[in-house]
């Protein structure tokens, strides 16, 4: 009986062991079989994420393109407005020049009778073109010269127009202004001698003109550049003592360069 009982116990143990082993093997098989499913799921999630990123990038690119178009339109609008303002400033400046010249002509004509001189009456002479001159309006010719200078920075073209103006209207309303701008053009080209001649001519022929203080200031700076500190200080001191906008410029220049 004991032998039979022991045999049955051994059979149960063996059966139990086989069952455990089989269960373990089945579990391993299940784990192994589940791995491909996990990889497929990960790949699907990655594809979805990449698609979302591409869609977002495309949307962002469209937004940036629209912003660029908007900015381009704004730049074009501002460029047009700047051009309009420049033209308006040029017209206003020309009008101001003409009003000042007319005022000075009226004051010269109302002065006590005396031998008329170019210095005292500046623009008293009628601004008619000389014989044989081209039929170009005085204001138009001067305005063209200023436009080339102030808007297009065409110094040579402007100088040519200003000289044409002086030839056509030697006693014109804008003659002293033409002298001044020719001096400025020569100064910008570092032609100091030519610049000095134009500014000096303005001061000699039109000492009371509104451009005279500016011309004197520029002439004082020219003397300083040429090493003539005596004349430079004399010129600049006269400007600094006046009440014109050039006065402070003269004071600052003298202070910086030790001429006070």
CATH classification of the domain holding 233: 1.25.40.10
92 occurs within a structural domain: no
Helix, strand, coil shares of the chain, percent, nearest 5, are 80, 0, 20
Cβ–Cβ < 8 Å for 171, 130 = no
161 occurs within a structural domain: yes
183 occurs within a structural domain: yes
DSSP helix/strand/coil, 258: coil
Each residue's pLDDT tens digit, 193-250: 999 999 999 999 999 999 999 999 999 999 999 999 999 999 999 999 998 999 999 9
Domain that holds residue 199: 134-256
Cβ–Cβ < 8 Å for 148, 154 = yes
Each residue's pLDDT tens digit, 93-104: 666 665 655 554
């Amino acid at each position: 009986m004991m032998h039979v009982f022991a045999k049955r116990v051994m059979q149960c143990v063996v059966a139990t062991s086989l069952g455990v082993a089989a269960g373990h093997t089945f579990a391993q098989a299940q784990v192994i079989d589940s791995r491909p499913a996990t990889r497929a799921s990960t790949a699907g999630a990655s594809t979805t994420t990449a698609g979302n990123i591409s869609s977002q990038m495309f949307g962002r690119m469209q937004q940036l393109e629209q912003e660029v178009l908007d900015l381009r339109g704004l730049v074009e609008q501002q460029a047009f407005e700047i051009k309009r303002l420049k033209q308006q400033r040029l017209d206003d400046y020309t009008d101001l020049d003409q009003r000042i010249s007319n005022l000075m002509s009226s004051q010269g004509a109302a002065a006590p009778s005396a031998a008329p001189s170019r210095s005292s009456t500046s623009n008293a002479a009628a601004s008619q073109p000389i014989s044989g001159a081209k039929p170009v309006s005085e204001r138009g010719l001067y305005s063209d010269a200023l436009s080339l200078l102030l808007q297009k920075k065409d110094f040579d073209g402007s100088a040519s127009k200003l000289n044409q103006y002086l030839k056509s209207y030697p006693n014109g309303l804008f003659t002293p202004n033409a002298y001044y701008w020719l001096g400025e053009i020569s100064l910008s080209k570092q032609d100091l001698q030519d610049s000095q001649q134009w500014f000096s001519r303005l001061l000699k022929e039109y000492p009371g003109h509104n451009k005279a203080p500016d011309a004197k200031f520029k002439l004082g700076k020219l003397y300083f550049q040429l090493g003539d500190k005596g004349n430079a200080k004399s010129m600049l001191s006269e400007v600094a003592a006046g009440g014109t906008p050039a006065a402070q410029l003269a004071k600052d220049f003298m202070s910086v360069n030790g001429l006070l």
